[in-house]
Amino acid sequence: MSGVGTFVYTRAHSVTFVSDQMRAALARLLEGVGLSPARLVDDWLVIGNAVTTWLSSGDLEKVTVEFYTRGTSVACGRWDIPVNYGTSEISNDMWLDRSHLAGAIAKAPRPPATALYRIVLAKKAGAPAVEGMSDTEYLGTGSMVSRATGTIIASPGLSAGLTYWRNK
């Protein structure tokens, strides 16, 4: 007698996986540029709830890390993790491309050692409210330009890319 087993990926699996991998990628990114991810870890209860809520509703557009120095309104560095819904090329796999992330970190300019960072979530208008989250504006980018590096997180129906900003 033989048996056949199947596993069905659901949107809930993808949301949980992508949210967890975003946290991991952000922590690796912060460590990779020489900053402590302690504040990210401390704040993840609120940030993670917002990421999960807005991924589930299809309203999360991207997660951004902005680096800045105290008293300025222009970022001295920035990374975006844009979300892609309905990814058709991923049907039965889930992954975080750690080597791609490490390579991008190695190529991108580092923020000053004294830089601070903040996490900004971009969502669609009408997204559900999440306790602890409020509207904000991005810091200015000055003469920086963005460079998309490709997909770093993938799952059925949901993936995330990576973009870093550098001076022209």
Distances (CA, A) of 30 to 8, 64, 129, 154: 34, 12, 27, 21
What's the pLDDT score for residue 151? 94
Query: How many domains are contained in the chain?
Result: 1
CA distance 87 to 56: 15
CA distance 103 to 100: 5
| Residue 109, pLDDT above cutoff 70 | yes
Task: Confirm whether 1 is domain-assigned.
Answer: no
Q: What is the pLDDT of residues 10-38, one digit of tens each?
A: 788 899 999 999 999 999 999 999 999 99
Task: Confirm whether 162 is domain-assigned.
Answer: yes
Instruction: Let me know: does 166 contact 145? Beta carbons within 8 Å.
Output: yes
Q: What is the pLDDT of residues 41-92, one digit of tens each?
A: 999 999 999 999 999 999 999 999 999 999 999 999 999 999 999 865 666 7
Instruction: Let me know: does 29 contact 165? Beta carbons within 8 Å.
Output: no
Task: Confirm whether 5 is domain-assigned.
Answer: no
Residue 108 exposed, middle or buried by CB count within 10 Å (0-12, 13-18, 19+): buried
CATH of the domain at 157: 3.30.900.10
Band (pLDDT 50/70/90 cuts) for residue 5 is very low
For residue 16, give its domain range. 11-126+135-167
What's the pLDDT score for residue 88? 54
What's the pLDDT score for residue 19? 97
Q: What is the pLDDT of residues 114-161, one digit of tens each?
A: 999 999 999 999 999 999 999 999 999 999 999 999 999 999 889 999
